[in-house]
Structures are given as C-alpha cells and as structure tokens.
Amino acid sequence: MSVVGAQPFIKPMQSSPSVSPGIQRRHTLPASEVRPLNTQDAISVFEIEREGASLSHTVCPELSMGWFEEGRLVAFIIGSLWDQDRLTTEALTIHKPCGSTVHIHVLAVHRTFRQQGKGPILMWRYLQYLRCLPNVRRAVLMCEDFLIPFYRKSGFKVLGRCAITVANLTFTEMWYPISGHAYMRRNSEAIRFPQHPLTLPLTKTDDQVDV
C-alpha cells in the first residue's frame, strides 16, 4: 500500500511525569479555554476515551481542539487532512498533508460535563477555526445513524453510506462546506491557536444543544 506524501498519525508516545495542571497553574489559567491539544494532554484524552478507541494525534495538532476548565480537559475534537472525495479505511490512520478535506475522527465530552451544551459549542468553534485555514475546503465525518440529527444541527449534510465498517457496525458519511470568514461569537471565554489567533467572547444569545 503506497502512502507517499502521507503521514501515519498514530504514534507511540513518550511517558512524562504526571503533573496536575489544576494545582500547578490554578492561578494562571482562565476558568474556561479552547486550544489545540498537545502530547501533555494525552492522559486526559485517554481518560475521556477510555471506553472506546483512543486516538493520539501528534502529526497535525493544529487540527485538534480541546476545551479546558481550570486546566482540565473536558472535551476535544481530533481531525486530520484527507485528499479524496470519500473516506476509506486509510483515512482512519493516515494524515494527507496536501489534502483539502478535514476528517473529523472524534468529538468527545467527559461524562461529568455532558448535557451542558459543550459538544455543539466546541464543534461550532472548530468549524469556525477551519475557515481560517486557507487550504481547507470541507470537513467530513462518519457516524452511526442515531447521531445524524446531532450533526445536522451543526450544519452537516448526509453524503451516504460510508465504505468503512467496524465489526458489525455501519456508518453514515456526512460533510460540511468550509468557506467564507469565521463568525465572531459563540459561547465560551477564550480560544487560542498558534498562527491563527481567533478570540471569540462569550455571548448570552447563543443557543445551546445538550450533548
């Protein structure tokens, strides 16, 4: 299988001392922030995804986003670039740096922070951030049928049945067009991205959808 120009993004990670960010940085972190994930966030990612397949994203961290409450990761999105019209099995493990499609692998919220609207808000912020990336033209994801209404509320449209299956599970492929400029507001206090700064203040008028 040729993977020229592609990079595998599931890599073994080096262990690092476990430090509680809530203790060490309590007085320097905002109460709520959204930023890209890094290798130091791996333990928190694994905690949220403990009951499922965990994905370590180190090749393209600029396509990840985490929501932190007082230094604790409570929700995250992980994506990678893809260069074909539809998803294939390779899209699960390969990052195509020259691709114009962002494949959203996972949107996860820690169980103790669910039913607070964080999932829809984080997805909205992520899609607005993608508008700041010059080569991105669309976002795609695969989901089980019961999640279709959730993603439709975020603006995704159904592409059809996905070619990828896992055991007896089948999936629907959905897509979202990326065009224009990022909107300026959505619930949350701060957002930080290297090279693409985007500050979106908290607004009381935004709708929340529990997840």
User: In CATH, what number is assigned to the domain containing residue 75?
Assistant: 3.40.630.30
Tokens of 72: 């604790």
Beta bridge partners of residue 172, listed in sequence order: 143, 161
- Between CA 158 and CA 107 the distance in angstroms is 18
Task: Report yes or no on 136 lying in a domain.
Answer: yes
3-state SS record for 11-35 = CCCCCCCCCCHHHHCCCCCCCEEEE
Residue 50 lies in a domain: yes
| Residue 187 lies inside a defined structural domain of this protein | no
pLDDT grade for 5, boundaries at 50, 70 and 90: low
200 with 128: CB under 8 angstroms? yes
The answer to the question of residue 23 being in a domain is no
**Residue 131 structural domain:** 28-177
Are 89 and 60 contacting, i.e. CB atoms less than 8 angstroms apart? Answer: no
pLDDT in tens, 22-69: 433 333 444 556 666 666 665 555 555 543 334 445 678 889 998 998
Residue 166 placed within a domain: yes
For residues 73 and 66, the answer to whether their CB atoms sit within 8 Å is yes
Is 16 within a domain? no
69-110 tens-digit pLDDT = 888 888 999 999 999 999 999 998 899 999 999 999 999 898
Q: Is residue 129 part of a domain?
A: yes
What secondary structure does DSSP assign to 126-190, as a single string? HHHHHTTSTT--EEEEEE-GGGHHHHHHTT-EEEEE-S--BTTB--EEEEEE--SPPPS--SSS-
Q: Give a yes or no: residue 10 inside a domain.
A: no
Q: How many domains does the structure of the chain reveal?
A: 1
Q: What is the pTM of this model?
A: 0.67
